[in-house]
Amino acid sequence: MTSTPVVRVDAIRKTYGGTIAVDEVSFEVRSGETFGLIGPNGAGKTTTMECVEGLRTPDRGAISVLGLDPGKDRYRLQGRIGVQLQEAQLQKRIKVKEAVGFWASLYRAPIDGDRLLDQLGLRDKRNAWFMTLSGGQKQRLFIALALINDPELVFLDELTTGLDPQARRAIWDLVRGIRDRGKTVFLTTHLMEEAERLCDRVAILDHGRVIDIGTPAELVRRHCPERTVVVSTADPTARGRFQAIPSVVSVSDQGPQLTVRGRGEDLVTEVIQCLSEHGIRVSDFRTDTPTLEDVFLRLTGHHMRD
């Protein structure tokens, strides 16, 4: 039953004063998937997520989460979801084990806090004050608090922002672990690499609007079908041979390096076939595959981080 929607958001809108933060946003999160809301800072990701969590009320539109209305059944919903908030803190002098213990006391059937801390690599930090934890440790503690009630649906808002690459990778592994336990994960990120590595499906958000929804591969195929192959060769016939390939659009050269641009997934195969067919010797070969970053640029005309 991977197609059952766990979250259904239907044309929600949220304004603050004169600014429209979220504009007619609709999407679904399916059971068991990792769904990402991606877009630059200020695109409306957090506002949308907090409406789904029941922390904010949209001005218009309807939301259903696990069959509940987050506006009306907020407290029942809180028992069944796990939440990690962007830029949230805890009391400076709360101990790790106290936070986990207190959170566990708020739910009917919490899982074992000590085991959870072990799994998240926080065993040695059980007695440490929150203020003494590193950024990565704080985020792992917030993951622990989000998982303590064994929720069906986990919200992660900009989980790795501000972390160094190593801590980020460690957190990614943990998020994959949550998904592997069969939980639905709903996350936001402005890091396209994070979205590509973690998300089964993404919705691209810009200026409060959903621009497109799909798997990362689908979105790339749909919006950035061009592929690029860069070949270094001394063979003077290579350029002409490549131009003869039907899917090739253009070939340009910088000295011995030829940049072959074309459309469709078959481009790379066709270039390789062409090379072997004609016995062209190459000293270097690399492909450039478009990423979600390129999709975003294509769709919005601006970069993610501006």
Partner 1 sequence: MLRGLLGLTWLEIKIFVREPMGVIGTVGFPVLLFVVLSRLLGRRAAAPSPGVPAYVSIDLPIFASLLIAASAVLSLIAIMAIYREGGILKRLRATPLQPYTILTAHVLVKLLFTALTLAALVLVGRRFYPVGPEVPLLSFTIALLACTVSILSLGFLIASIVPTARFAQPIGTAIIYPMIGLSGLFVPVDSLPPVLKMIARTLPSTYAVSLLRGIWRGEGWAAHGGDVLMLAVLFVVFIAISARVFRWE
For partner 1, the binding residues (CB under 8 A) are 53, 55, 75, 78-79, 83, 85, 87-94, 98, 102-103, 105-107, 129
* DSSP code for 44: S
Asked if residue 43 lies in contact with residue 208, where contact means CB atoms within 8 angstroms, the answer is yes
Q: ∠ CA 234-279-260 to the nearest 5 degrees? A: 60
Token digits for 95? Answer: 């101990």
Closest C-alpha to 235, from 277, 269, 263, 266: 277
Identity of the residue, 131 or 234, whose beta carbon is nearer to partner 1 in the bound complex: 131
As measured in angstroms, the least distance from the Cβ of 141 to partner 1 is 11
- Using CA atoms, how far residue 30 sits from 20, 81, 165, in Å, is 27, 15, 29
CB closer to partner 1 out of 78 and 137: 78
With tokens 């997934």, the residue in question is 265
- Please identify, using beta-carbon distances, which residue of 112 and 253 lies nearer to partner 1: 112
The Cα 60–Cα 23 span in angstroms is 9
Give the shortest CB-98-to-partner 1 separation in angstroms.
Answer: 6
Nearest distance from C-beta of residue 33 to partner 1, angstroms: 22
Nearest residue (CB) to partner 1, 83 versus 267: 83
3-state secondary structure of 283: coil
The alpha helices in the chain, defined as continuous H runs, are 45-53, 74-80, 96-105, 113-119, 135-147, 165-180, 192-198, 216-223, 238-243, 267-278, 292-300
Which residue, 66 or 195, has its beta carbon nearer to partner 1?
66
CB of 24 to partner 1, least distance (A): 25
Tokens of 130: 């929150």
| In the complex, least distance from residue 186 CB atom to partner 1, rounded to whole angstroms | 14
> Whose Cβ is closer to partner 1: residue 138's or residue 227's?
138
Q: Nearest distance from residue 96's CB to partner 1, in Å? A: 13
